[in-house]
Amino acid sequence: MATETTTDPATSQVRSFAIIAAALFLNNTVALMLGPLLVDIAEEFDTSVAVAGQLAAATFFSWAIFAPLIGPFSDSLGRRPVALTGLFLMGVCIIGAAFAPNFIVLMVFLIGTGLGGSMIPPNSIAAISDVVPEEHRGRAIGAAQGIMMSATVIGIPGVAILASVADWRLPFLVCGSLLMATFALSWLWYPKRPASGPSSFSYLSRFKELGSIPIFRIGMLANFSQRIVFFAVIGYFAAFLIDTYGMSVGETALPLAVVGAGAVVGSLWGGMLANHRKRLNFMAGFALAGGAITAVLFAVGPAIWATVGIAFAAVCVLSVGWPVFITFATDVAPQSRATAVGMMGASNRMGGVVGAAMGGAFLAIGGFSAIGIFCLAAVVFSALVMRLAMREPKTVEEMKPDAAQSR
């Protein structure tokens, strides 16, 4: 008689985590891959780097629009179908972008990529939050963000190397192929857990619940203004190196890897602070420090590795806030975590839209130093919002207007 084989629970957990980690890594690689490719794309389509930078803005815009809309599907229907749909759509669109015949078609495919990509981080972080105890959730989310940000150490420099081997289209082909491979493995290994929400599908009620919490709305605003600066630095640093130091695309790979390591360190650091009772005070201070360092980065032109060191410091402190805001989002809505993370993710990607679009505008108007001034103004605004309008509640119930009025 044949015996039934079962998968060891530990093996299943390792596989599940590996799939989630791979999805997060590739998701962020695709989100940030345009940075080292802007010069080549601009040359091929006979436009400027500032205009090519709007490709990133378009990608982030679709990401920001759809990220919060996906959350209720994940919370009500389950994490697995959302993960599979997002990976498949990203893979198809990024491969299609590799064959784009003109600038407009490339933008359309990247908008589709943003739609698929918007499904991955909220769904993945919610899946992690579902199984991690509250006291360890901040560290777990920080670790997940560290893996995601390792794309800036490995993925983005890899994009630069691939582009130097052939042209800007090769990185799109490679990333698309890896996404499709991850989709195939996710079909086999992604955990089949029940939805975290009620059995009946609820959509608008989840947004209504979160929208009724003033401190959550203020947190989204503070996060948005901080992420403007992060994406401006990541998006235009490679072009800054090429323009200021005459580097080739391939030569930017090592500096980008070093700067990307700052994002990993900052994310892990943020994970350790995510459950601290004074986390908002820390975030305001880190935001101001990041803005000041960014202003210095684009205003001076010391030796190349001094510039890389300054960029490392800027990206490191600018990355601390994201795990804190994500943990904050999961604390606010335990039954709608994907929705909360998606809404916070929307503020994140809208920061990418403004960072890419306004960064390009300031570059066209006043050069790279103008980008630094713009970034400093953005973080000053974020710090003011956090210090003047945000408060750390003792419980989730205290965030709601009715609770505040009843005291």
DSSP 92-153: HHHHHHHT-SSHHHHHHHHHHHHHHHTTHHHHHHHHHHHHS-HHHHHHHHHHHHHHHHGGGT
Residues 328, 341: Cα–Cα separation, whole Å: 9
> Of 233, 169, 234, nearest to 32 (Cα)?
234
Contact 146, 102 (CB under 8 A): no
| CA distances in angstroms from 106 to 98, 168, 207, listed in the order given | 8, 12, 33
Confidence at residue 198, expressed as pLDDT on a 0 to 100 scale = 47
DSSP 63-84: HHHHHHHHHHHHHHH-HHHHHH
Computed over every residue of the chain, the mean pLDDT equals: 83
Confidence at residue 99, expressed as pLDDT on a 0 to 100 scale = 95
Tell me what percent of the residues of the chain surpass a pLDDT of 70. Answer: 88
Report pLDDT digits (tens) over 120-150: 988 887 777 776 766 776 777 777 777 887 8
Confidence at residue 273, expressed as pLDDT on a 0 to 100 scale = 83
Question: Which helix (H) or strand (E) segment is 347 a member of?
Answer: helix 337-366
Confidence at residue 1, expressed as pLDDT on a 0 to 100 scale = 39
| CA distances in angstroms from 43 to 180, 357, 373, listed in the order given | 29, 19, 27
CATH numbers and ranges of domains, the chain: 13-190+209-401 (1.20.1250.20)
Contact 190, 84 (CB under 8 A): yes
Which amino acid does the sequence have at 320?
Answer: V
pTM: 0.70
Which stretches within 274-336 are classed as H helix? 279-299, 304-319, 321-332
Residues 316, 366: Cα–Cα separation, whole Å: 26
List CB contacts of 176: < 8 A, sequence separation 6 or more.
91, 92, 94, 95, 97, 98
Confidence at residue 27, expressed as pLDDT on a 0 to 100 scale = 92
Residues 115, 113: Cα–Cα separation, whole Å: 5
Confidence at residue 193, expressed as pLDDT on a 0 to 100 scale = 63
Tell me the Cα Rg of the chain: 21
In the chain, what is the straight-line distance between the N-terminal and C-terminal CA atoms, in Å?
Answer: 68
Confidence at residue 399, expressed as pLDDT on a 0 to 100 scale = 45
- Averaged over 214-240, what is the pLDDT? 89
Q: Which two three-digit tokens encode residue 324?
A: 């804190």
Asked if residue 348 has pLDDT above 60, the reply is: yes
Residues 313, 319: Cα–Cα separation, whole Å: 10
Report pLDDT digits (tens) over 325-338: 888 887 777 667 77
Q: Which two three-digit tokens encode residue 379?
A: 């973080």
> Of 57, 65, 138, 55, nearest to 97 (Cα)?
55
